[in-house]
Amino acid sequence: MAEQKVSLPAKLINGGVAGLVGVTCVFPIDLAKTRLQNQQGAQVYKGMLDCLAKTVQSEGYFGCYRGAAVNLTLVTPEKAIKLAANDIFRQKLSKDGKLPLWGEILAGCGAGTCQVVVTTPMEMLKIQLQDAGRLAAQRPVPTPAQAASPGPAPSFVTPPSAQPNPPRRPSATGITLELLKTRGLAGLYRGAGATLLRDVPFSMIYFPLFANLNALGWKGVGSGRVEQAPFLQSFIAGCTAGSVAAVAVTPLDVIKTRLQTLQKGEGEDSYRGIVDCTRRIMRREGPSAFLKGATCRALVIAPLFGIAQGVYFLGIGEMVLGLQG
The neighbour count for residue 77, using CB atoms within 10 Å, is 18
Angle CA 117–120–121, to nearest 5:
95
Helix axes 68-93, 8-38, angle to 10 degrees: 130
Give the span between the Cα atoms of 53 and 50, in whole angstroms. 5
Helix axes 101-138, 8-38, angle to 10 degrees: 40
Give the span between the Cα atoms of 212 and 189, in whole angstroms. 34
180's CB contacts (< 8 A; 6+ apart) are 187, 188
What pLDDT tens digit does each residue of the chain (325 aa) get?
Answer: 344 555 677 777 877 787 788 888 889 999 999 999 999 877 889 999 999 999 999 999 999 999 999 988 888 788 788 878 888 899 899 988 888 999 999 999 999 999 999 999 999 999 999 999 888 887 765 555 544 445 554 443 444 444 445 556 788 899 999 999 999 999 999 999 999 999 999 999 998 999 899 888 665 544 444 456 787 888 888 899 999 999 999 999 999 999 999 988 888 889 999 999 999 999 999 999 999 999 999 998 888 888 777 777 777 877 877 766 5
Contact 40, 269 (CB under 8 A): yes
pLDDT of amino acid 218: 64
Angle CA 125–127–131, to nearest 5:
130
Contact 56, 63 (CB under 8 A): yes
Give the span between the Cα atoms of 20 and 18, in whole angstroms. 6
Give the span between the Cα atoms of 111 and 71, in whole angstroms. 19
178-204 exposure pattern, b = at least 16 Cβ within 10 A, e = fewer: ebeeeeeeebbbbbbbbbbbbbbbbbb
Give the domain ranges of the chain: 8-137+170-219+226-321
**Letter for the amino acid at 141?**
V
Contact 45, 64 (CB under 8 A): no
In total, the chain counts a number of residues equal to 325
What CATH superfamily classification does 8-137+170-219+226-321 receive? Mitochondrial carrier domain (1.50.40.10)
- What is the pTM for the complete model shown? 0.80
Angle CA 172–51–129, to nearest 5:
5
Number of H helices, E strands in the chain: 13, 0
